[in-house]
Structure 1
């Protein structure tokens, strides 16, 4: 058995439960991660409260979490490029648990020197921001070419590429993703309360193990 965060109704953090579940199994084209860190984002507590119900379809009992960093401990059929023991980071919802299955395309190798808590919060904070900057650059180029009216076409770069672009900057010390506080998995309610209160400088990260 393993631990995972679930909720069975919308509400404040008192609806959250840390429950025993069967570890998921990596299916075709998937890997399973032993989670070492999982970043908390505003979308998590907004989903819990029901504020995202028009954007996200939730089937109860539901999990939470997107950002993840962990160790590959199971590889599904058809997966190449990752093996058991690889340390990775990226996105793998629902990531608030001890084990999670992931799409390899949403993962990148974790640099050995990158602390787990920073790696676990990087995808949401760093990847999304980098994608946004690249989209802004696209818009600026189009505005320069076609006058001052700006338009961004296409879907933009994917998360994996954005993270691969970011990691060298972090390794060189040119970019930091500050971590405000870490919480053990069983204190997930306090972590989401902390995030929803605002005024947090840096990422909040859950450490499941």
Structure 2
């Protein structure tokens, strides 16, 4: 099968289109014929070696954790899926090796769910990691009706889902973004504020009594700023900075594969509660360009690779 691989840590130039053996199907694993995958910042951070020691890499690595495709082969005990099922998933395992930037991927059934009927394969591939991150961080934070929620990097892949999910729960949402993305945030139901110097003052102007929940999806000084604008008894949750948990009594979230959570996202998409923003689409052979676009950091929504 064709696959993107890299055999050493480095910049996007280490990515190559190669021929690899077809993946092995285990007892609780299905082989998915990949129609589309997507790029997440963690993909190029792993490729650059930033997570070495936290995640073990077995070279050559096929990158990518997000997938949408069709089940081609089932394992000995996979009653959840049949050949021909359209699925999507967050195919992360403990060893970084056989990822989704390939024509086929071996996916444990715990990482997959049925693809939303309302989404194309390209749109579905843009959902799993970011959608699960948003859903799990919101649930960990206890977001509920009537609260005011601050979402950092609200126009990004995770942030845009978090805005929509929090709004669906009945929360008021304030979202940080560049001015170019303010109208986009309004279309999702958020009140936009510009990030950067003076952010705490701008948030306080919108929420004089503070925010009940602050969700950090960007890092930097987001946790520190959140602490400045947090209401008494409020919660800070971060996916980038352990200080949210260790210094402020909040939460530090590392997204987990979950069929049940993917099913919940599917229901939201098919009900029209959620929408997904695909920023750009690349062919598999151009995966290095897709990684570079993600590293540039100025993309609204998700970057998708078509297989």
State TM-score, norm by structure 2. 0.61
| Cα 1:7–1:156 shift into 2, 3 Å | closer
Q: Distance in 1 between matches of 2:67 and 2:141?
A: 26
Q: Distance in 1 between matches of 2:46 and 2:257?
A: 23
Q: Could you tell me how far 1:25 is from its partner in structure 2?
A: 2.4
Contact 2:38 2:305 in 1 (8 A): yes
**1:203 alignment partner in structure 2:** 302
1:163 lines up with 2:282 in the alignment: no
**1:193 alignment partner in structure 2:** 292
Pick one of 163, 173, 178 that aligns with 2:272: 173
Q: Which runs of 5+ in 1 are unaligned?
A: none
**1:10 alignment partner in structure 2:** 9
Deviates more, 1:155-164 or 1:93-102: 155-164
CA-based RMSD: 2.5
Instruction: Provide, for residues 6-63 of structure 1, a one-character-per-residue CA deviation record: whole Å limited to 9, x for no partner.
Output: 1011111111111011211211111000001111100101111111113211122112
Q: Distance in 2 between matches of 1:158 and 1:194?
A: 25
Q: Could you tell me how far 1:150 is from its partner in structure 2?
A: 5.0
| Cα 1:137–1:54 shift into 2, 3 Å | same
Contact 2:117 2:270 in 1 (8 A): no
Contact 2:133 2:255 in 1 (8 A): no
Highest relative contact order (Cα 8 Å, sep 6+), 1 or 2?
Answer: 1
Q: Could you tell me how far 1:157 is from its partner in structure 2?
A: 8.0
Deviates more, 1:164-173 or 1:194-203: 164-173
| Cα 1:164–1:58 shift into 2, 3 Å | same
Higher alpha-carbon Rg: 2
What SS does the aligned partner of 2:122 have? helix
Q: How does 1:57-96 map to 2 (within 5 A)?
A: 57-93=56-92, 94-96=99-101
Structure 1: 4+ residue segments shifted above 2 A: 147-152, 155-159
State TM-score, norm by structure 1. 0.88
Pick one of 106, 127, 137 that aligns with 1:132: 137
Q: Distance in 2 between matches of 1:53 and 1:134?
A: 29
1:116 lines up with 2:121 in the alignment: yes
Q: How does 1:15-26 map to 2 (within 5 A)?
A: 15-26=14-25
Structure with greater strand share of residues: 2
Q: Could you tell me how far 1:113 is from its partner in structure 2?
A: 2.7
What SS does the aligned partner of 1:50 have? coil
Q: Could you tell me how far 1:172 is from its partner in structure 2?
A: 2.2
Contact 1:92 1:103 in 2 (8 A): yes
